[in-house]
Structure 1
Amino acid sequence: MKKLLIAFTALFAAFTLAACSTSSAVSNNNSTIKVGVAGSEEAEIWSNIIERGKKDGLKIKLVHFTDGNQINAATQNGQVDVNAFQHYYYLNQWNKSNHGTLKAVGKTYLAPTRLYPGKGITKVSDLKSGDQIVIPNDPTNEGRALALLQTIGLIKLKHADLATPNDITNNRLNLKIIPVDAGQLPQQLKTVAAAVIDNGTAHDSKLNPHSAIFVEPISSASSVWINILAANANKATDPNVKKLIKLYQTQTTKDLFKKYYPTEIPAWDTKF
């Protein structure tokens, strides 16, 4: 009887271990990660990554937001595991302003911003005294737009982490530089001389990037504008996050950028 009890106990233990092993395998094969994104940004890229993730045992669920602050807040409090919408500069400023602990976990792409011509303008030299130029009104992209106008030679700025129109020290053409909501910039081209428009907004509005009269130059200073995958610090080493990064940073993804977003430069293995 004792031998029978020992044998039964061993058999039960083996069965339990096998069941746990099977359960663990099922769990690992059905891992889910929530990714916060802005609208339909890079939809073709993500659609492909989602399909590749299924084959690799990772279920990727996109959670769509309309505001970057909301995406970072949701990442901070755990509503999403990782997000994909911002560059290093935006992340650093958000962390400072919100006492955040978000961390860049992987590079994605660099998207140079552009100056698009408005009414009666075909080149930068067409701009004349008193012309209106609209720029994004959110602090990060407003500062980037002003830096672009300084690079062109239209204005000079005093040193500021987040430049605003108040930081303009020289405006040789007395241009009227007006911050507006980023989503309204393309429509403003009908009435203003020019607009500084980020790549995502231009793409969503079907603006031809080749129509731009100036493109943000790429240099070592561009590193702050590289877009990233960002996660809460306690999620940075999560296996699912690492698997997502590996799926993203591939030649397949590069080929998709070349096909659908040729103005965006894959940045994870590129030196600027």
Structure 2
Amino acid sequence: MKKVLSLVLSTVLVLGLSGCAAQGKSSTGSKDSKVIKVGASPEPHAKILEQVKPLLEKEGYKLEIKEFTDYVIPNTALAEGEIDANFFQHVPYLEKTKKEKGLDLDYTVKVHIEPMGLYSSKIKNINDLKEGAEIAIPNDPTNSARALRLLEKNNIIKLKAGDLVTAKDIVDNPKKLKISEIDAAQLPRVLPDVTAAIINTNYALEGKLNPLKDALIIESGDSPYANILAVRKNNKDSEAIKALSKALTSPEIKKYIEDTYKGSIVPAF
């Protein structure tokens, strides 16, 4: 019995050590994975990432792009480890999401700026806005505040001081404009139903709108809303993320953005 018990204990010990070794190998393999999964909005983020693929291939990495059409799931997917990084948002949005949801996320590089613009199918000039006109803006807090500040900068309304202002913070509205908050992705579709809409450039491009030609007013190039590569903090310094960050801010990508979007999207590096 003693010999049998000794044999069983030895087998368990060996299997336990083998299990630890296997787990260690798996963890190392995950850390050094040559496949990088990135979540991105279809336009322009996913298209920019397509240009990154050959650059990463030279470094021995394969880039997999997963497209998202909303502003919520990409950060959740990143935090839960479904993807290695995401590329769709600006810094204020990331910071707000981190605070609200307690996500342990960060970012590595600023890639480009997408100037937010006011579009209309009913008026040709911002001075044509009539009393009581309805203006649709994004309904997420950071982009809503950003849209309102764009109106203020063009002397259409006046707002209280603060970062995340809302329509309730309008202190002067001489034309008695009606501000409607709508999901950002739906704004191009509702354009025929409102007087005008302030639309993020990625959704404007998807809606076949040219920011430089079609926007009645547009953010200036000094906008603080640069789009970033978001990552998990515990993966920020991995070789794969470093390679991806370097490729996204390479001369080749800068030239691609400038040549393709001709000022409607501006490199931030």
TM-score category of the 2 structures, normalised to the smaller one = 0.7 to 0.9
Q: Indicate the residue corresponding to 1:16 in structure 2.
A: none
Please, which of 50, 53, 73 is the counterpart of residue 50 of structure 1?
53
CA distance in 2, matches of 1:145, 1:40: 20
Which deviates more from structure 2 when the two are superposed, residues 93-102 or residues 48-57?
Answer: 48-57
CA distance in 2, matches of 1:40, 1:218: 19
CA distance in 1, matches of 2:98, 2:47: 29
Contact preservation (8 Å) 2:115, 2:200: yes
Q: Indicate the residue corresponding to 1:198 in structure 2.
A: 200
Letter of the 2:266 partner, please give it: I
**TM-score in terms of structure 1 length:** 0.82
Please, which of 125, 128, 141 is the counterpart of residue 126 of structure 1?
128
How has the CA–CA distance of structure 1 residues 110 and 130 changed in structure 2, closer, same or farther, with 3 Å as cutoff?
same
Contact preservation (8 Å) 1:137, 1:180: yes
Please, which of 162, 165, 168 is the counterpart of residue 167 of structure 2?
165
The answer to whether residue 227 in structure 2 is matched with residue 227 in structure 1 is yes
What runs of 5+ residues in structure 1 fail to find an aligned partner?
A: 1-25
Contact preservation (8 Å) 2:118, 2:196: yes
Letter of the 1:236 partner, please give it: K
Q: Indicate the residue corresponding to 1:74 in structure 2.
A: 77
How has the CA–CA distance of structure 1 residues 30 and 160 changed in structure 2, closer, same or farther, with 3 Å as cutoff?
closer
* Structure 1 position 138, deviation (Å): 1.6
How has the CA–CA distance of structure 1 residues 100 and 30 changed in structure 2, closer, same or farther, with 3 Å as cutoff?
closer
Query: Can you list the C-alpha shifts for 1:113-134, whole angstroms capped at 9, x where unaligned?
Result: 0111231x11111111111111
How has the CA–CA distance of structure 1 residues 65 and 184 changed in structure 2, closer, same or farther, with 3 Å as cutoff?
closer
Query: Can you list the C-alpha shifts for 1:250-271, whole angstroms capped at 9, x where unaligned?
Result: 1110121123222111112xxx
> What SS does structure 2 have at the residue aligned with 1:61?
strand
CA distance in 2, matches of 1:189, 1:117: 7
How many residues were matched structurally? 239
CA distance in 2, matches of 1:125, 1:241: 47
* Structure 1 position 30, deviation (Å): 6.8
> What SS does structure 2 have at the residue aligned with 1:140?
helix
Letter of the 1:66 partner, please give it: T
The answer to whether residue 107 in structure 2 is matched with residue 104 in structure 1 is yes
How has the CA–CA distance of structure 1 residues 188 and 253 changed in structure 2, closer, same or farther, with 3 Å as cutoff?
same
Please, which of 111, 115, 129 is the counterpart of residue 118 of structure 2?
115
Q: Indicate the residue corresponding to 1:13 in structure 2.
A: none
How has the CA–CA distance of structure 1 residues 28 and 117 changed in structure 2, closer, same or farther, with 3 Å as cutoff?
closer
How has the CA–CA distance of structure 1 residues 30 and 136 changed in structure 2, closer, same or farther, with 3 Å as cutoff?
closer
How has the CA–CA distance of structure 1 residues 169 and 28 changed in structure 2, closer, same or farther, with 3 Å as cutoff?
closer
> What SS does structure 1 have at the residue aligned with 2:81?
coil
Q: Indicate the residue corresponding to 1:267 in structure 2.
A: 268
Letter of the 2:249 partner, please give it: Q
Contact preservation (8 Å) 1:44, 1:260: no
How has the CA–CA distance of structure 1 residues 115 and 27 changed in structure 2, closer, same or farther, with 3 Å as cutoff?
closer
Contact preservation (8 Å) 1:29, 1:57: no
What runs of 5+ residues in structure 2 fail to find an aligned partner?
A: 1-28
Q: Indicate the residue corresponding to 2:139 in structure 1.
A: 137
Query: Can you list the C-alpha shifts for 1:53-110, whole angstroms capped at 9, x where unaligned?
Result: 1122011111222322211111112211111111000011011101122111111101
Q: Considering only aligned residues, what root-mean-square deviation do their CA atoms show, in Å?
A: 2.0
The answer to whether residue 49 in structure 2 is matched with residue 35 in structure 1 is no
Contact preservation (8 Å) 1:30, 1:59: no
Q: Indicate the residue corresponding to 1:251 in structure 2.
A: 251
CA distance in 2, matches of 1:78, 1:180: 30
Please, which of 153, 156, 178 is the counterpart of residue 155 of structure 2?
153
CA distance in 1, matches of 2:178, 2:142: 20
CA distance in 1, matches of 2:51, 2:221: 28
> What SS does structure 1 have at the residue aligned with 2:88?
strand
How has the CA–CA distance of structure 1 residues 98 and 250 changed in structure 2, closer, same or farther, with 3 Å as cutoff?
same
